[in-house]
Amino acid sequence: MKVIALNGSPRLIGNTSNLLAEFLDELGKEGVETEMVQLYDHEFQFCNDCRSCEMRGDGRCIMEDDDMNGILDAMRAADGIVLAAPAYAGGIPSQMKVFLERAGLALTMGDRGLRGKVGAVLTVSAHDGAENAYNELTYWLIHNEINVVGTYPLPIFRALNSPQYEDDEQAMKGMHRLAENMVALLEKSTSN
């Protein structure tokens, strides 16, 4: 079983990357192979809604001169997808938004390449907006026909500077339960 996690934070070492690494460690303890992709390490062009992906039907974006299609291929090869982001201005950061807009169109209009995979979401904010970011990321998973793993409490963290996310006991409890639930669903979906 393999899970690929997309980190939408511009801070390579911060709450989002640290809590995501901790989450992936939990999956690793259960034998799940993991990979984290820092979206801010990659360049993405804006989607121009050309609909070439729909005409081609192969799930690839026609713009081949950036990192989009390579990450899409890695996502298709994985059994699970984790989306993690801080909340900036009440939603997900711009780099993740650009990636998800273009990826979503290529996937839903193309090959529906993530259909049936297992997905999870983690978000963090200093003050507010984490719920909006969580909902936006969860919507993207559902829109791509990914089986979203639920948990209670939700893994929506309140923290400013890392490692303050560790102080949010409810979100930490939710994150650990999310890892357990994701492993269980991965095992079920890969055994079929």
pLDDT of residue 59: 85
Region of 2 please: left (phi>0), alpha (psi -120 to 50) or beta. beta
Question: And the tokens for 112?
Answer: 């529906």
All structural domains of the chain? 2-191 (3.40.50.360)
Kindly give, in sequence order, each residue whose CB lies less than 8 Å from that of residue 180, ignoring residues fewer than 6 positions away: 26
Which residues lie across from 158 on neighbouring strands? 125
Residue 12 has pLDDT above 90, yes or no: no
Tell the burial category of 65 from Cβ atoms under 10 Å away from its Cβ (0-12, 13-18, 19+).
Answer: exposed
Q: What's the mean pLDDT when you consider all of the chain?
A: 94
Q: What is the pTM of this model?
A: 0.96
Confidence band (pLDDT; 50, 70, 90) for 162?
Answer: confident
Q: How many angstroms separate the Cα of 138 from the Cα of each of 57, 63, 65, 149?
A: 24, 26, 28, 10
